[in-house]
Structure 1
Amino acid sequence: MAATPGWYQDPYGGAGLRWWDGVQWTQHVSTPQTVRPAAYTPPVPARRPLPDGTPVYTPWIWLVTLLPLVNALVLLTYRPYSGYARMFADPAHPVIPDTLSLMGGPVFLVASMLSWIVVAVIVVFAWLDYRELTRRGVERPFHWAWSFLGPIVYSIGRSVVVRKVAGGRGGAPIAVAIAVQVVVAIAAFVLGAIIFASMMQGIGDVSGVGA
C-alpha cells in the first residue's frame, strides 16, 4: 500500500524533506528551517545591601516631601476671584474691575510663579538626594527625574529601592509624602468652598437688588 501524499525525509540523502505525491517522489523539496538562538540578555545584577548603620535619609528627601506644604499655605491665604467681592460690595452700583483684579490682583501672578518655583526646587532637591544616595553606596537609586511627575512619585520609588538594600529601613518618606498630600487636598477643598460661598453670596446680593 502506497504511503499517503506528504512531506517525508528525502530518500536521496538531502538535508530537507521531499514531497511524495502518493505515487512517486517529486522535485519539490523543503529546506530545513534554521532556528536562531534567542538573543542573550544578561540578568540585571541585584543591588548590593548597604552596610549596617548607613544613613538612609538625607535632608533633601524631607524637603522634597514637605515643600508641597508651601502650595497649601498659598491656597489657604490666597483669595482668587476676590475681585467679585469688591464688584458686589455695593449691589446697587456694581463696579466691574479688570480681569486681573477679578482673579485677585498681583497676588494671582505671585501665587502662580511660586507654584512653579516649588516644582523646580523639588526637582533640584530630588537630584541632590539621588546624588547623596549614590555617594552612600546605594546602587541605581530611584532616578531623580521621576520627581517631574510629583514629589509623592519620587518619594515612593525612592523608599522602595532603599528598603530593599537597607534591610527594611527607609520607608518613612512615603508616610510623610502621603500626609502632605492629604493636607494639600484639604486646603484645596477649603479654598473651593470659600470661592463657592463668595460667588453664591454675590449672586444673592444682586438678586436681592433686582427684586
Structure 2
Amino acid sequence: MSAPAGWYTDDQGATRWWDGSRWDGEAPTPVTSGESPSVPEGTSANTVWVWLIVLLPVLSAIAAIGYLVQMQQGMFDMLAVVPLDGSSSLDVERFIAAEINAFLTPWYLVLTLSGWTIYGLSVWFAALDARELAGRGFSRPFPWAWTFLSSLVYVIGRHVVVRRRGGRGSTPLIVMIAIQVVFLLAASVWASVFAAQLFETVFSMVTMRRM
C-alpha cells in the first residue's frame, strides 16, 4: 500500500514531496561539507562597502601629490644652498634647514595620517562588506582579515569567491586595478620628469663651477 501524499525523506536522505505514487521532481544535489552552496545566478555582490574600499586610495593619492610637489621644490632649494664657488664652504645649518623643509612638510603629516586612516577604514569596511555578502546568501565569504595585508588582496579574493558562488560583481576589481595602473603610470612619469630636472640643475651647477 502506497503512503499518502506528503513530505518524506527519500533514499538519499533528502526531504521531497511524495504525491502518493511517486516522488515529485528530482532529488536535490546534496552539499558536501567541503562545498558552499551557490547563490541564485546573477546575484549582485556590489556593496557600498567594497566601493569605498576601492575608492579610498584616491584620497591618499591626493595627499601624496601635495607631498611630492613640496618635496620636489625643497630638493631644489637644497641644491641652491650648495655653493657654486669651489673656494667657499657649505653652510651646513642652511643645508640642514633646507633638507628638513624638503621632507618634513605639513603634507608629510597629512600623507601619514591619511594613510593610516585609510588603512583602518579599509579593514572596517571589509568586515562590513563580508557581513553584507553573507546576508545576501554568499556563505563563507572571503575573509575580511586579508585586508590587513592589502585591500587589493581582499578585493581579488572576494571576486574569486563571489564568482565561484555564482554571483556577479567584477566591476570593483576592474576599477581598483585601473586605479592602481594609473597611479603607477603617473608615478613613473613624475619620477622621470623630476630626475631629468634634477640632472639638468646639477649639470648647470657643475658647468658654472668650472667656468
TM-score (norm 1): 0.68
- 1:44 Cα deviation after fit: 3.5
Q: Give the aligned partner of residue 208 of structure 2.
A: 209
- 1:70 Cα deviation after fit: 2.4
Is contact 2:67–2:105 with CA below 8 Å preserved after alignment?
A: no
Structural RMSD (CA): 2.5
1:1-211 counterparts in 2 under 5 A? 44-51=33-40, 54-79=43-68, 80-89=71-80, 95-98=94-97, 99-103=99-103, 105-167=105-167, 169-211=168-210
| Residues paired across the two proteins, number | 168
- 1:104 Cα deviation after fit: 5.6
| Separation in 1, partners of 2:67, 2:95 | 21
Change (3 A) 1:113 1:198: farther
Change (3 A) 1:49 1:86: same
| Separation in 1, partners of 2:66, 2:104 | 11
Is contact 1:71–1:115 with CA below 8 Å preserved after alignment?
A: yes
> Which range moved further: 107-116 or 94-103?
94-103
| Separation in 2, partners of 1:75, 1:102 | 14
1:141-180 per-residue CA deviation (whole Å, 9 max, x = no partner) reads: 001111122222111110111112235x222222112111
> Which range moved further: 184-193 or 94-103?
94-103
Larger helix proportion of the pair: 2
SS at structure 2 position matched to 1:166 = coil
- 1:52 Cα deviation after fit: 5.1
Q: Which runs of 5+ in 1 are unaligned?
A: 1-42
Percent of aligned positions that are identical: 36
Is contact 1:83–1:102 with CA below 8 Å preserved after alignment?
A: yes
| Separation in 2, partners of 1:134, 1:193 | 46
Change (3 A) 1:81 1:97: farther
SS at structure 2 position matched to 1:96 = helix
Is contact 1:82–1:103 with CA below 8 Å preserved after alignment?
A: no
TM-score (norm 2): 0.68
1:105-154 per-residue CA deviation (whole Å, 9 max, x = no partner) reads: 22222222222222222111111111111122211100111112222211
Question: Larger Rg: 1 or 2?
Answer: 1
